[in-house]
Amino acid sequence: MSVAIDLSGRVAIVTGGARGVGRGISERFLEAGAEVVICGRNEPESPPQAGGRQAVFTPGDVREVEQIDAIVAFTTERFKRLDVLVNNAGGSPNAEAATASPRFSESIVRLNLMAPLHFSQRANAVMQEQDQGGCIVNVASVSGIRPSPGTAAYGAAKAGLLSLTQTLAVEWAPKVRVNAVTAGMIRTEQSHLHYGDEAGLAAVAATVPLGRMGEPRDVGDLCLFLASPLASYVSGANVLMHGGGEKPAFLGAAKNVSRD
């Protein structure tokens, strides 16, 4: 027996939905029949497409509250509703905690924590007025639940996002469900910046119990489930999707210890 998720008639905003993980999320929602609005500072040459339709782009920097307001207004004026918000936009370049400037660290927290908070507030205001409410999915990271060397501010922001998810789920219930997806290593068009060439990517994938890095579509599948009626009793949850996590370092070290 198959289970199909049909979000026909539903409207979703996916921040950062034009590339990488965001594109995978957008495509899955389109395949499920939803109308998808994506936003970003630059219009993509090729918006996400699936099921004979494509995502609608509107410009906006999620770090600016006035631009968030414009994105939500565009969506509700065009589609007359907002059912799903996926706070996907985020990230951070590498920077050592000892030397990162205050301005840099503040910008990372602003993008990865404050932007989802502000966007969620605006979406919630719309969803609370709808008979069927709505749902918010925050895309978090394993950097928020383990040490994050080289991206300390990012890891701290993602940890804060998990706390925020739980609190909003309590404050905004029962009309609005709020959940988080804690993603592990996902292979995107920018993976080489973090992990190197194909050999490096293969080496990294070998550290994952399931033997591969995740794909943007994997994240899309989980976001789609959380936005669907199948997850109608799921709120305040943090769902881990990291292929089983990371193999403990001591196991490899122990195997290399001489027993002579």
In 3D space, the residue among 71, 26, 31 whose CA is nearest the CA of residue 48 turns out to be 26
The answer to whether residues 225 and 155 touch, using CB atoms and an 8 Å cutoff, is no
The answer to whether residues 62 and 115 touch, using CB atoms and an 8 Å cutoff, is yes
**Residue 195 annotated among the catalytic residues of the structure:** no
> Catalytic: which of 29, 119, 154, 172?
154
β-bridge pairing 84-87 and 134-141: parallel
Nearby residues of 225 by Cβ (< 8 Å), 6 or more positions away: 5, 231
The answer to whether residues 126 and 94 touch, using CB atoms and an 8 Å cutoff, is no
Helix (H) or strand (E) holding 165: helix 152-171
Nearby residues of 75 by Cβ (< 8 Å), 6 or more positions away: 11, 13, 37, 58, 82
Active-site residues, by number, are: 154
